[in-house]
Every structure is written in C-alpha cells, then in structure tokens.
Structure 1
Amino acid sequence: MTSILEQPLDLPCGAQLPNRLCKAAMTEQIAIGNRAHEGHVRLYRAWGESGCGMLLTGNVLIDRHHLEAPGNVVIDARPDADHMAALKAWAAAGQEHGAKMWMQISHAGRQTPKLINEAPHAPSAVPLALPGGQFGKPVAMEGHDIRKVIEGFALCASVAREAGFDGVQVHGAHGYLISQFLNPRANQREDEWGGSLENRARLLLETVEAVRAAVGTDFPVGVKLNSADFQTGGFSFEECRQVVAWLSEKKIDLLEISGGNYEQPKLLGIEGLQAAEDQPVRESTKAREAFFVDYAGEVRGEASMPVMATGGFRSRVAMEEAVSAGLADMVGIGAPLCTDPRGPAKLLAGEIDRLENHSKGMRLGPGFLGPNSSIGLIKMLNALGQQAWNYLAILALSEGQDVPMRMSLLQAYNRHQKRLKQQAKALSQ
C-alpha cells in the first residue's frame, strides 16, 4: 500500500514536489572562502538518495559581514564564473535522483558571531541575552541598510534560479534578521519598521515581494516562520497567525513553521536559559513526537499555501498521521539525515519504522551531567555538543567519509569550536 508520504504536492506557482518529505535546512558550515565547492556536491549527492522529494540547503547568506558561521556560502554579488559553476554543480547534485533542490537564503543580524563581526546590524542595539561573549553589541540599522537587505535577498534568489535551483526559502525564523524585526524584544524601533506588528512584519513582506519580482511567478518561493519566539514579550503565536494571513496575499508556495531562537532554542527541542512563555495550542502536542506540528495545523486556517512542519519527526506513523490529519502538507526531517543519509528512503520502503538520531543519545555524563540537567549551562552544553556532532557528521559526508559514530560529546564540541576558529581566521586573512 502506497504511503500518503509518497504522494506528490502541487504548489501554487505550478511546480510540483515529488513527495511529502523534505530534507530540512541544516547549516552545512563547510564553505571555503564563503564559496560552494566539491564538498557540497558530495554532501547533496548523498542526501539526494535520502528519498526526500525536496532538499532544502542550510543558510546561504546575503551579506558576508553577517554570517551565521564562518563556513557559510555567501551570495552578496553576482558570482564570478567559477562560483556560478560550483553553485550549478551543487544544485545538480541534489537533483540526480529526482529531488527538488531549494536554497534557503538568510541574514544573521545580531546572531552573527563576534568572530565575524563585533558590531553587526540589527533592528535595534539590543544584544543577545546569552553568556560567553560570543556575540557583539549590535548596531541599529538605518533605513538604507534595511533597503539593502531587501535587495540582497532578491539578488540571492535570482542567482539561485540562474544556478538551477528549483526554489528558494526566505528564512524568517530562528532569531535571524527578519525574525529579529518581528520580535518586539529585539525590535524597539519607532519608525515604519518597528512598533506595530504591521511595521515589524514589513521587512519580511517587502522581502517576499522583492524575491518574487526577481524570480518570476513560476518559480517556487517559500518562507520559514516562527510559530512563536517562546519568550515573554516576544513574537507570539497570535502574531504568527496574522503574519501568515498577510503572507497568504503574497502568493508564496510553501510555509514552514518552526520556533525559537538562540536565546530560547525550541528548534533544538530544548529550553533555553530563560523561562519560556507557553503559547496556546492543542493539548495533543504532548502526545506527539514533533515539536511544531500542532502550530502548523493551527495556522492552516489562515494559510492559502501548503504548510510544512519540521522538528522532532522520527516515526513513519507520526509523519503519516500529521499529513493525513491535515496538520501539515509536508514533513521536514533534519538531524536523522546526519546519522543515516538514506534513512527516509528506508522508511518509505518499509525497511524501518523509525529514523535514528545518533546525536540525541549523546551526553556529557550520567545524572545531572545529562541533557535534562537542572543546571542550565550543562543542559546547553549537552545541546551544543549534540549539534556539534551533527556538524562534524555533515563535514564527514562532504568529504566522502563515514560519520564519526564513536566520538564523544565533549570531543565533538571541542573539535567543532576549534574548526570554527580556524575558519574565521582563514576568512580574515
């Protein structure tokens, strides 16, 4: 019997996705000099065999001074011939087995590490409330800075189409720049870009308009949006619903619902160092493995476009139930593809019933040293170590190597931190 996950999905622009599974965006952090290269080809050739009908890249940044990490690909000008060839090879690699390749485009804003920029642009001069001094004090943007960002998203999207990608996703979630504008804690402006929700959403909505104008009406354009920031006084679920209604007037093709930011990393399935503010949603979330699927279901009343839910999906049963119940049109799968790039294909073939996520079983130690520690910093170190292992697994796949199954959490964390410093040093030279 054919699974509902194997059904194609028609998009408003006229394009079609082969099935309901998406390789969700995970930052690769493998670029050399902020350029794509053969490692991206090897990585996405491997993920092209995942069985996912859509492959979504990690952050491609529109400004080299505002990176999520030093190993990001950057498109902030028309690529030269060599980089365009590398981008074309990257897109083609993911498409070899029939998947559609989409580029996620982003601007990190105040979530730019200090290693990259000690005074990054942001809506307002409000620094991240995080220990460790990894992020600098942001500088409030001028109007011309904001207009330059909108133009940057449009340019990057047009390059993605020219390079052969099948679609683009505007990253408006997870505390990056567009998400910062939506968040009243980070956006304390009193001009047309701040204050009311309509003003705070202006950057997102005008960016979507500019991207659509740059790529045409027949090219898929998606948006990633927080269901909420899960912070007191932050972007709320009710505000999310209103933004979805506005996006529905902009003719976008796929809306991905996620949540959280660096201060409250719900996207990693953990609590941050601050008390989280609960958001209203159906009680069934507690009984289901996915983090944001009920929020996706709740916004479908406002959404004229298909909706994707990402975060926490592991079992075929939960994925099928989410789609058949009308909570989501697509399911995004991330971390398990670091453990087994072919996991979803095995799931669809009935070889397995559940995806493995090796990093989630890693921990600093037993008891209070584990991921559920009552000590906030230990909890965060566990989460960051798990993420570090995923990054190193991505690096291994990009080099044609086996993923490092025997590495400890602390080894992964230290090795990843060392690599970030080396990459940042290389960029500065």
Structure 2
Amino acid sequence: METNLLAQPLRLPNGSTIRNRLAKAAMSETLASYANRPTPKLIGLYRRWASSGIGLLITGNVMIDRRALGEPSNVALEDEADLPMLQQWARAATDQGAAIWIQLNHPGKQATKGLNAGTLAPSAVPFREDMAALFETPREATHAEIEDIIQRFGRSAAICKKAGFSGVQIHGAHGYLVSQFLSPHHNRRNDQWGGTPENRRRFVLAVYAEIRRQVGSDFTVAIKLNSADFQRGGFTEEESLATMQALVDAGIDLIEISGGTYEAPAMSGAIQQPQKASTVAREAYFLEFAEKARASLKVPLMVTGGFRSVAGMNAALRSGALDVIGLARLLAIDPDAPATLLRGHDSPVRVRPIKTGIPMVDRAGIMEIFWYTLQLGRIAGGGDPRPNESGLWAFLKAATKSGWGTFRTRRQRARA
C-alpha cells in the first residue's frame, strides 16, 4: 500500500505534538469509586491502551461537579484530593509516549432518574415520551448556576494540568450540557445565554475562555462538537460551523466532530440517513461534514465513528478533510488494534451492532454505553474483552450494576 499516514506525527497550534494520527476517542469507563474518585483500574486500562503505540488517549466523562453525574462511578474532579492517583493515571500514558487528555463534562438533563438530587439545563424541556421513564424534566439553570459551572470547568482543567495530563477536551456533543446550550430545541432562553445563535454559543465560549485563563496558552484545550443534533428544531450544521469558527478564532487546539444525542444517537451509527454507495465506502459517519468544516477552518480536525479499515483511514487522511482518526468501540474489543493498524493491517475483530431485543433500549442506543463499558472493565482488570457477548445479558448485568451504583452513590453523598 501507499505510505501509511496513520504513523505520521501531528503538531497542534499550541506547539505540542501527537506521535501519530490514531486517537482513542472518549468512552464511558465508570471505573471510579462510588465516591467518584479515580481508581487503579483506570491506570491499568490506560496503560494497556498506551502500550499499543496509539498517539492520543481521550478519557471518558470526567465530571466537573460531584452533584451532577452522568452515571454512577464517573470520576468527578472538583479539587486536588485525588492528585496522586490522577498523576499515576496520566503517567500510565505519558511514560509510554502517548498523549492523554481528560474529557471534562457536565450532563445537564442527560442523567438518569435518581442518580442526582435533580437535573438542570438551559431550559426545562422534557425528554420525548418514551424516554420520560428514564430521565426527569430538568429545571432551568439560574445565571448564578451557569457562572458557577463555567468556573468549575476552569478549575477542573487546572487540576488536570497539575496532575500531568497532556490536555483537556470539553465535551460539547451528544446532548450533554454544553450541547444543550447550543441547541435551540433544548435552549429556549431569552436572556444572554439564549434566543439567538450568538447567545446560545456564549456558554461554550465562556467555558473555553475560563479554561484557557486557568491553564495558559501552552496546555492543549480541545472540544468535541456535534455536526448536528439530528432532532427537529435542534442544532444545525450551519450553527455548528459558526460555533467551530468562533472557537478557532478564540484559539482552540483541535475539534473532534461527532453528532447526535441520547434521543437521536447518530454517534453510534444508529440513525444514519440513506447514503450513496460511494459515501458508505468511505466508512466515517461524519466525513462529509468534516470536508465542509475543512473548507473554512484552519485547525486540526478529528473524526470518530465508522472507520473499519487501514485503507479507509488512510483515504480519509489523504483527502485532507481531517487530521486524526478517532477510534472507540474497536479499542474496547481489540485494545491492541493500534499496533496492528500502524503496521498497515486491519484488526481481525469487527465492531457489530449490539441489540437486546428490547425496542426502547435498542432505539435509545444505550447499549453503545452499557455493553462496551463491560468490556472496558475486563481490560482494566487485566483480562481480555468478549467480542461475542450477548447484548441482552450485558444489558441485564449493566442495568443491575447501574441501579446498585445509583443507590450507593446517593448513600455516599448523604454521608458526605
């Protein structure tokens, strides 16, 4: 084959370098304690991935507020109490030459019932009817709460820098709080935080500015953004491009392109629109949007979702539409895949749709979290994943764990 572009290093705008073009995109690990503190399992998991030769590792959701979790056993990063463990986590990657970025997040309304004392969002917009049993209607955030959340993003980023992580990624996609502020479906405010596209992106720009203020210009700050929400009245491609340009103007170091929410899970490939055969052959879900972004944006772009082969990854890089190939589910079932890909060979393991046979569960796309999270736990414990595990069995096991985890989390919080 032609030169394997996957092996080429990438220099970011802040001057830092990623050793190759393969990145592990964020996946929810839920390997923290019930007090939301990092554990040795996270160190083992990331050490295994870093040993594969991958260039960049982006962690799963790390929450900026212990009162606002997305799932039980999320890491929450509010202060320096866990700095020694965080330093070990960072070194698990950096000692082997991989960059590692913490993904910082606030779930907003996208937290299951009972996990938190309540949920907030830009506006009090409920989930669609068939998901109302799982997610409560949020209350509208006050101006003081919005300012507090912005400060928390900055504080958490500063702790990441002190711990030795290579950077942070703001989670601005998939229907979480930053994404909610950007979407006219979720954000129906008429103050400075909503009402117009410019006001709706004020929150993400304020989050970025506060992080940059606290970490300086040499620390990597990236963002994951939706190309669109794929919901009626939601965030559009035009608004996404305008938001990306505003972030580039502000100094963002890399943009990862994704799409969808829990209600419309495009990030899992579950709601892809009909496409021409030539488009399907190009593999990546959001490659066409990346081409639109590349036409106007002068910033490194990362695309995650749909890549299956070395040929497809190289073709995408060769097109110039993107700079980094994001892999997620493949690395949960083949943690050594980067070494194979960097040698120019395809992984022998194939990502497959995970179904339970329960319509509500399968439509929501939550098995893209539950099933793969179980595999991550096995790798973290020193074992190997089970690529052929039953979706229904995994759902029942994960649902039981989630229910118990919610109970333990609430009990832990009550004792604090």
TM over 0.5: yes
Q: Could you say what the CA RMSD is over the residues aligned between the two structures, in angstroms?
A: 2.0
How many Å separate the matches in 2 of 1:311 and 1:403?
A: 20
User: Residue 281 of structure 2 aligns to which amino acid in structure 1?
Assistant: A
- Cα separation, partners in 2 of 1:110 and 1:384, compared to 1, 3 Å: closer
How many Å separate the matches in 2 of 1:64 and 1:167?
A: 21
Q: Provide the residue aligned with 2:136 in structure 1.
A: 136
Question: 1:25-424 alignment to 2 at 5 Å?
Answer: 25-32=26-33, 33-76=35-78, 78-80=79-81, 83-117=82-116, 119-129=118-128, 130-131=130-131, 133-271=133-271, 285-350=279-344, 352-354=345-347, 356-358=349-351, 360=352, 362-364=354-356, 377=360, 379-380=362-363, 383-385=365-367, 387-405=369-387, 407-424=389-406
* Cα deviation code 1:346-373 (max 9, x no counterpart): 11113x3246245x25444xxxx5xxxx
- Cα separation, partners in 2 of 1:74 and 1:6, compared to 1, 3 Å: same
- Cα separation, partners in 2 of 1:115 and 1:388, compared to 1, 3 Å: same
How many Å separate the matches in 2 of 1:362 and 1:204?
A: 33
The worse-fitting range, judged by mean Cα deviation, of 289-298 and 396-405 is 396-405
Q: Secondary structure of the residue that 1:414 maps to in structure 2? A: helix
How many Å separate the matches in 1 of 2:199 and 2:367?
A: 38
Q: Secondary structure of the residue that 1:225 maps to in structure 2? A: strand
Where does structure 2 lack aligned partners over 5 or more consecutive residues?
412-416
Shift of 1:227: 0.3
Q: Secondary structure of the residue that 1:222 maps to in structure 2? A: strand
* Cα deviation code 1:203-245 (max 9, x no counterpart): 0011111111111011111011100001121000011111111
User: Residue 137 of structure 2 aligns to which amino acid in structure 1?
Assistant: K
Kindly indicate whether the alpha-carbon contact (under 8 Å) linking 1:181 and 1:193 is maintained by their aligned counterparts in 2: yes
How many Å separate the matches in 2 of 1:399 and 1:125?
A: 41
- Cα separation, partners in 2 of 1:415 and 1:376, compared to 1, 3 Å: closer
Q: Secondary structure of the residue that 2:72 maps to in structure 1? A: coil
- Cα separation, partners in 2 of 1:355 and 1:139, compared to 1, 3 Å: farther
Shift of 1:301: 2.5
Where does structure 1 lack aligned partners over 5 or more consecutive residues?
370-374
Q: Provide the residue aligned with 1:372 in structure 2.
A: none
Shift of 1:388: 2.1
How many Å separate the matches in 2 of 1:411 and 1:73?
A: 26
Kindly indicate whether the alpha-carbon contact (under 8 Å) linking 1:117 and 1:136 is maintained by their aligned counterparts in 2: no
The worse-fitting range, judged by mean Cα deviation, of 185-194 and 118-127 is 118-127
- Cα separation, partners in 2 of 1:362 and 1:139, compared to 1, 3 Å: closer
Kindly indicate whether the alpha-carbon contact (under 8 Å) linking 1:28 and 1:394 is maintained by their aligned counterparts in 2: yes
Kindly indicate whether the alpha-carbon contact (under 8 Å) linking 1:118 and 1:137 is maintained by their aligned counterparts in 2: no
* Cα deviation code 1:73-114 (max 9, x no counterpart): 0012x222xx11111111111223211011110000000111
User: Residue 13 of structure 2 aligns to which amino acid in structure 1?
Assistant: P
Kindly indicate whether the alpha-carbon contact (under 8 Å) linking 1:347 and 1:355 is maintained by their aligned counterparts in 2: no
How many Å separate the matches in 2 of 1:22 and 1:195?
A: 36
* Cα deviation code 1:138-193 (max 9, x no counterpart): 01011011101110100010000000000110111110001000010100001000
Q: Secondary structure of the residue that 1:22 maps to in structure 2? A: strand
Shift of 1:304: 2.3
The worse-fitting range, judged by mean Cα deviation, of 123-132 and 409-418 is 123-132
Give the structure-2-normalised TM-score. Answer: 0.93
Shift of 1:309: 0.5
Q: Secondary structure of the residue that 2:131 maps to in structure 1? A: coil
How many Å separate the matches in 2 of 1:50 and 1:89?
A: 18
User: Residue 279 of structure 2 aligns to which amino acid in structure 1?
Assistant: T
Q: Secondary structure of the residue that 2:170 maps to in structure 1? A: strand
Shift of 1:406: 5.1
Kindly indicate whether the alpha-carbon contact (under 8 Å) linking 2:105 and 2:170 is maintained by their aligned counterparts in 1: yes
Q: Secondary structure of the residue that 1:108 maps to in structure 2? A: coil
The worse-fitting range, judged by mean Cα deviation, of 114-123 and 177-186 is 114-123
Shift of 1:428: 1.7
Shift of 1:312: 1.1
How many Å separate the matches in 2 of 1:185 and 1:363?
A: 29
How many Å separate the matches in 2 of 1:42 and 1:378?
A: 30
How many Å separate the matches in 2 of 1:379 and 1:294?
A: 26
Q: Provide the residue aligned with 1:18 in structure 2.
A: 19
* Cα deviation code 1:45-81 (max 9, x no counterpart): 11112322000001100011211111110012x222x
Kindly indicate whether the alpha-carbon contact (under 8 Å) linking 1:118 and 1:135 is maintained by their aligned counterparts in 2: no
